[in-house]
């Protein structure tokens, strides 16, 4: 007995030690996982103000370019001044937004991540930027006043001082952006590399922007000046400095990508960027500096330069987007890893006591879709929605601009697909996309949304532009299509809606356009249908009735009212007619005229009719048995119910 007790004590002691170790290890594991999770969360939050600061820098860059153009233009236009005022207001709003996001991120910091700079230095940069906004506003006012002077009397040094002020301004924004960088305790090196990549892309962006602004103002000044007094020495020096920064940024970017695997950014893509810069961008800059604008058509050269600059900057902007997305991906990866660790560690602890734990599934979806439909070559749904959102954001309601969303569905395409095969159907879709594309200007986007449905979006001030474009598109189908198996004739039904006329937001615009197309299809082939709010209300009411009708049958919301037939000689009722009524819980009594037709169209009539027969027979039995009456009950039978194979059996 002693030995058993001793063994029991030893087992208890081992169990207690095991439990303590489980708690100790478990708490350590859970704490470690919690640190990872909170660090990843903080990293995610820090990306919000950083994205806003990238946008702020782009806005300030546009301000800088607009100011420079204003100072070298021969005339001052009110539209230009208003445009500059709008940019200034946007920049201020972006700064205020970024400041709020930064303060919110700092307030929500629960540990798990550290920042590369102190809160004091962060606040100091914010205060400097706030002060800079005020001083820049005054400087712009004075500068605009000078722009009203004749071009020859304007002080070149003032213009360049303003340019340098913007350079310093954007540099302060970059300092603030760097101070938002969170570094979690886990995956420190990977996150640090991601931040360094964004830093290189920032330098690349800024240097390209400065080069572009300097060159454009240089060409414009030559274009508007009546003398050849424009010196290129300072211009060449400044652009050379930017070239050095671009070279350093590209070199740093290449090294970082080579050392670290960055999702979406390959060594080849960086090499292509560098080759394009060395072979196209830089030689063109050099040629523009060394060749006097007097020797060529400056307007044409300016347009060519702007095209090259925009294309190259778009490539860099794409890298910026990928770099931000990659940082988000890293944060998600840490978060997923931490979440998995939390679940597994929690499971280990709980299994020691209760031996049960619900299983959790963690799924991560990271998918980058191509932006164009593989069959037709036009933009796909994802690309279309991105462009549509950009259209939506830039609609100027004050100038009565409107966003038009047009949805097209092919009439007769299914018959071609079924009779001639999918190959012919695919060929037909390609030709349809080509024909539609030929009818559209560059300011409109065409996309294949799936199947035989296409969408078009554009911004316009013309209230009738959508209607006339729809007619133009519809008439383009008057010519038959030639596929491999023969001649095909199809048409299209078109529905369209506008923002803000038919929709209050982008989501509503998509819904209203789809409904307009559905209404067009219901009206017959080759129909053009703008969105109609009254028709939409009727359709929504009908859908609600259809949805609620099945539940009404099951929930006993339906009632039978009986209209008696009196025998006057006997002063009593000898027959009744059963009349169905629907007492909806929220809509009250609904007329049979509103739901009988819906039941017939949706196939619910047999179910509804059987309920009426059963209820009428039940009530007749109650009357005839308990009340000692002999009453006949008449029931209205739908032809849809009579056509059922088991109708007679259900009656008898």
Query: 86-99, pLDDT tens digit by residue?
Result: 888 999 999 999 88
Q: Cα–Cα distance between 617 and 619 in angstroms, integer?
A: 5
Cβ burial of 416 (10 Å; 0-12, 13-18, 19+) is: buried
Model pLDDT for residues 550-570, shown as the tens digit of each residue: 777 777 778 888 888 777 667
Cβ burial of 187 (10 Å; 0-12, 13-18, 19+) is: buried
Q: State the pLDDT at residue 27.
A: 62
Sign of CA dihedral 643, 645, 651, 652: positive
Model pLDDT for residues 384-408, shown as the tens digit of each residue: 998 999 999 999 988 889 999 999 9
Q: State the pLDDT at residue 476.
A: 92
DSSP 542: H
Mean pLDDT computed over every residue of the chain: 78
CA 327 to chain centre: 19
Q: Cα–Cα distance between 304 and 611 in angstroms, integer?
A: 76
Helix, strand, coil abundance in the chain, percent, nearest 5: 65, 15, 20
Q: Indicate the fold that domain 548-651 takes in CATH.
A: TIM Barrel (3.20.20)
Q: State the pLDDT at residue 214.
A: 82
Q: What b/e sequence results for 64-82 when a residue is b if at least 16 CB atoms lie within 10 Å of its CB, and e otherwise?
A: bbbbbbbbbbeeeeeebee
SS3 for 67-95 is HHHHHHCCCCCHHHHHHHHHHHHHHHHHH
| Cβ atoms 496, 464 nearer than 8 A | no
Query: Is the confidence at residue 368, as pLDDT, over 50?
Result: no
Model pLDDT for residues 491-530, shown as the tens digit of each residue: 999 999 999 888 889 988 888 888 888 888 888 888 998 8
Model pLDDT for residues 566-598, shown as the tens digit of each residue: 776 676 777 888 888 888 878 788 778 777 777
Domain 381-531 in CATH 3.30.70.270? The answer is yes
Model pLDDT for residues 1-49, shown as the tens digit of each residue: 333 344 444 444 555 565 566 566 556 666 666 677 777 777 778 888 8
Query: Is the confidence at residue 472, as pLDDT, over 70?
Result: yes
Helix axes 2-72, 298-351, angle to 10 degrees: 170
Query: Is the confidence at residue 363, as pLDDT, over 70?
Result: no
DSSP 632: E
| Cβ atoms 439, 378 nearer than 8 A | no
Q: Cα–Cα distance between 226 and 92 in angstroms, integer?
A: 37
| Cβ atoms 634, 620 nearer than 8 A | no
Instruction: Name the pLDDT band for 64 (thresholds 50, 70, 90).
Output: confident
Q: Where are the domains of the chain?
A: 24-340, 381-531, 548-651
Nearest to 66 by CA among 172, 162, 206, 205: 162
């Amino acid at each position: 007995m002693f030995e058993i007790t001793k063994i029991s004590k030893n087992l208890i002691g081992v169990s207690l030690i095991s439990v303590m170790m489980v708690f100790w290890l478990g708490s350590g594991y859970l704490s470690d996982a919690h640190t990872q999770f909170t660090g990843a969360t903080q990293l995610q939050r820090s990306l919000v103000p950083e994205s806003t600061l990238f946008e702020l820098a782009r806005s300030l860059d546009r301000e800088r370019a607009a100011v420079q153009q204003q100072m070298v233009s021969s005339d001052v236009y009110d539209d230009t001044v208003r445009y500059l005022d709008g940019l200034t207001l946007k920049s201020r709003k972006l700064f205020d937004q970024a400041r709020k996001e930064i303060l919110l991120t700092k307030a929500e910091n629960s540990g798990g991540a550290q920042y590369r700079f102190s809160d004091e230095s962060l606040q100091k940069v914010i205060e400097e930027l706030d002060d800079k906004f005020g001083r820049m506003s005054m400087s712009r006012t004075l500068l605009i006043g000078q722009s009203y002077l004749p071009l020859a009397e304007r002080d070149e040094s003032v213009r360049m001082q303003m340019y340098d002020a913007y350079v310093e301004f954007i540099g302060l924004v970059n300092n603030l952006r760097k101070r938002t960088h969170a570094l979690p305790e886990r995956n420190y090196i990977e996150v640090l590399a991601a931040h360094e990549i964004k830093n290189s892309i920032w330098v690349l962006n800024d240097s390209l922007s400065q080069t572009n602004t300097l060159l454009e103002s240089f060409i414009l000044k030559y274009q508007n000046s009546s003398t050849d007094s424009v010196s290129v020495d300072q211009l060449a020096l400044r652009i050379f400095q930017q070239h050095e920064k671009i070279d350093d940024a590209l070199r740093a970017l290449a090294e970082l990508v080579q050392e670290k695997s960055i999702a979406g950014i390959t060594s080849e893509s960086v090499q292509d960027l560098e080759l394009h810069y060395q072979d196209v961008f830089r030689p063109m800059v050099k040629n523009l500096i060394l060749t006097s604008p007097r020797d060529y058509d400056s307007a044409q050269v300016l347009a060519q330069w702007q095209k090259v600059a925009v294309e190259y900057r778009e490539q860099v902007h794409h890298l910026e987007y990928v770099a931000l997305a990659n940082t988000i991906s890293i944060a998600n990866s840490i978060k997923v890893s931490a979440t998995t660790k939390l679940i597994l560690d929690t499971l280990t602890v709980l299994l020691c006591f209760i031996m049960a734990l619900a299983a959790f599934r963690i799924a991560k979806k990271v998918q980058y879709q191509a932006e164009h439909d593989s069959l037709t070559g036009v933009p796909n749904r994802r690309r279309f929605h991105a462009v549509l959102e950009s259209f939506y954001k830039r609609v100027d309601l004050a100038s009565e601009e409107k966003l038009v969303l047009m949805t097209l569905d092919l009439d007769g395409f299914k018959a071609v697909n079924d009779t001639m095969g999918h190959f012919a159907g695919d060929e037909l879709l390609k030709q349809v996309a080509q024909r539609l594309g030929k009818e559209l200007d560059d300011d409109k986007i065409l996309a294949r949304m799936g199947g035989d449905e296409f969408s078009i979006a554009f911004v316009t001030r013309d209230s009738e532009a959508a209607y006339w474009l729809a007619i133009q598109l519809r008439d383009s189908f008057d010519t038959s299509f030639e596929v491999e198996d023969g001649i095909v004739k199809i048409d299209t039904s078109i529905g369209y809606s506008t923002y803000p006329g038919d929709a209050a937001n982008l989501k509503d615009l998509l819904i209203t356009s789809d409904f307009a197309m559905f209404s067009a299809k219901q009206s017959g082939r080759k129909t053009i249908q703008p969105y109609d709010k009254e028709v939409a209300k009727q359709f929504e009411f009908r859908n609600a009735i259809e949805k609620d009708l099945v539940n009404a049958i099951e929930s006993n919301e339906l009632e039978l009212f009986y209209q008696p037939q009196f025998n006057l000689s006997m002063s009593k009722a000898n027959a009744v007619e059963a009349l169905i009524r629907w007492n909806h819980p929220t809509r009250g009594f609904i007329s049979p005229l509103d739901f009988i037709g819906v039941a017939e169209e949706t196939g619910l009539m047999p179910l509804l009719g059987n309920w009426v027969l059963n209820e009428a027979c039940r009530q007749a039995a109650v009357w005839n048995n308990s009340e000692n009456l002999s009453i006949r009950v008449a029931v209205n039978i739908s032809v849809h119910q009579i056509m059922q194979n088991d109708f007679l059996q259900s009656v008898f």
